[in-house]
Amino acid sequence: MDVHIARQPIFDIHNKLFAYELLFRQTLGLKLGELSGDRATTSLLSTTFLTEGIEQIAGNKPCFINFTEKLLVREIAAAFPKNKIIVEILESVPPSAEVLEACRALSSRGYILALDDFVFTKELLPLIELVNIVKIDYQLSTSDEIERTMRRLAHFNLKFLAEKVESYEELDHARKQGFNYFQGYFFARPESLRITEIAANKANLLRLLAEVNKRQTTVTRLEEIIGADVAITYKLLRYINSAFFYLLKQVESVRQAIIYLGEREIRRFVTLVIISELAADKPTELVRLSVIRGRFCELLAEAEASGADASELFLLGLFSLLDALLDTPMPRIMDGLPLSDEVKDALIHQRGPLVVYLEAAIAYEKGEMQQCLAALGKLRVNAGQLYEIYRQAIKFATLLD
């Protein structure tokens, strides 16, 4: 069975990654609406814990996973480590005696419980007493409704999670309302209140980014660029001498590293390091998402086998969040980068022959499988390869951790 799992980050009040929500989206030829919640969750648990290993999907962070009434009562959650999952109780689950007993047992064992898409009713009070986190849909709830809910629950020992927070303005408002955790793609958008001229240190990094990605840059010039930056030199030597490469002899110079990795890979490595530096004051998840998009687009190109330049598509995905990294409009950033017209057209205007790769990547990360499959249809990529492509992209992104 082909399984598609998307992960969505959840942040704390300091914009630090707190957890991921794992979403089972689709089996090949079967839409989520045609799949029972029980089967969706058991497929997700089987894939992440029994097949791939949760560390490959979420690193060391816990994962919110949806549980139906049947799965709660059958005590399925207790079969998985309490430090790896957060039991998310679906809004459709009634607070029956069996459900309350199951939740009480999980709570006593130290599991974290969360209520999904919470809307207050008195019938839920026995369940509210047992859970740790209440999730509220920020887009579907008014400020007054949220404030009333929080007042009603003030005497419970609860944390509040705002779902679907899509801008920094919404994030700021949700913080002021008293939310503790935030889920949504606010971090992948520019902070409009901060948009100014690019700071001098970041402007220098952008110039370096442009130089590294010039087609005519030579190995000698790459050596000069890297050697002039102590931080990049250190990271390069640490990277190439890591267990990832299984080298018999330690690499001690930039030139040796360039020769070993090759021009393409050294360009890629330096580009990734620069992106990380540009994002120093941003959530680290933004860099991860940039790298995942880049690798996802690259792997799509390789799977399509149509002659598309995979390395160019890596840059397309990687640079798709530069406006959020720099809080600067994309057209202004693109002015100084030596990218092809096709890449710039996709990033600035969301059009042209390459934009479909980016559309597929973004749709997958948001769990919008119909849009993703529509893009794949244009690319003639087998949908059965999707999850493996996504998993490989996540694995690649961990190289920078």
pLDDT tens over the chain, length 401 residues: 455 677 899 999 999 999 999 877 554 444 444 444 556 556 666 555 545 566 777 788 999 988 888 888 888 888 888 998 999 998 889 999 999 999 999 999 999 999 999 999 999 999 999 999 999 999 999 999 999 999 999 999 999 999 999 999 999 999 999 999 999 999 998 876 555 566 667 777 887 888 888 777 777 888 888 888 888 888 888 888 876 677 777 888 888 888 888 878 888 888 888 888 888 888 999 999 999 999 999 999 998 866 788 889 999 999 999 999 988 899 988 987 888 999 999 999 999 999 999 999 999 998 888 888 888 888 888 888 888 899 899 988 886 66
Residue 343, pLDDT score: 94
Collect contacts of 200-203 with beta carbons under 8 A, ≥24 apart.
202/278, 202/326
Q: For 3-189, which CATH class? A: alpha beta
Q: pTM (2 decimals)? A: 0.84
12, 175 in Cβ contact below 8 A? no
Which one is the CATH code of 194-400: 1.10.150.450, 1.20.1090.10, 1.10.3210.10, 3.40.930.10?
1.10.3210.10
Instruction: Look at the chain and count its residues.
Output: 401
Closest C-alpha to 93, from 43, 127, 62, 42 = 127
Q: Which two tokens stand for residue 351?
A: 């059009």
- What interhelical angle do 263-278 and 200-212 show, nearest 10? 170
Residue 205 is encoded by which pair of tokens?
Answer: 């990094």
Q: What pLDDT shows up at residue 182?
A: 97
Sign of CA dihedral 16, 268, 201, 220: positive
Say if CB 134 and CB 128 are below 8 A apart. Answer: yes
Considering Cα of 282, then 285, then 286, then 290, what sign does the dihedral take?
A: positive
Phi-psi region of 72 (alpha: psi -120 to 50; beta: other; left: phi over 0): alpha
State residue 387's pLDDT score.
84
CATH 3.20.20.450 domain span(s) along the chain: 3-189
How far, rounded to the nearest angstrom, does the alpha carbon of residue 167 sit from its chain's CA centroid? Answer: 16
Residue ranges matching CATH 1.10.3210.10 in the chain = 194-400
| Structure confidence at residue 296 (pLDDT) | 95
Per-residue confidence (pLDDT) for residue 31, from 0 to 100:
47
Q: What's the token pair of residue 223?
A: 């050596």
How large is the C-alpha radius of gyration of the chain?
23
Residue 141 token pair: 């709830």
**Nearest 10 degrees: CA dihedral of 258, 264, 268, 271?**
80
- What distance in Å separates the CA atoms of residue 43 and residue 354, rounded to the nearest whole number? 33
Q: In angstroms, how far is CA 388 from the centroid of its own chain?
A: 16
Angle at 94 between CA 92 and CA 98, to 5 degrees: 135
Q: What confidence score (pLDDT) does residue 198 get?
A: 66
Task: Answer whether 285's CB lies under 8 Å from 14's CB.
Answer: no
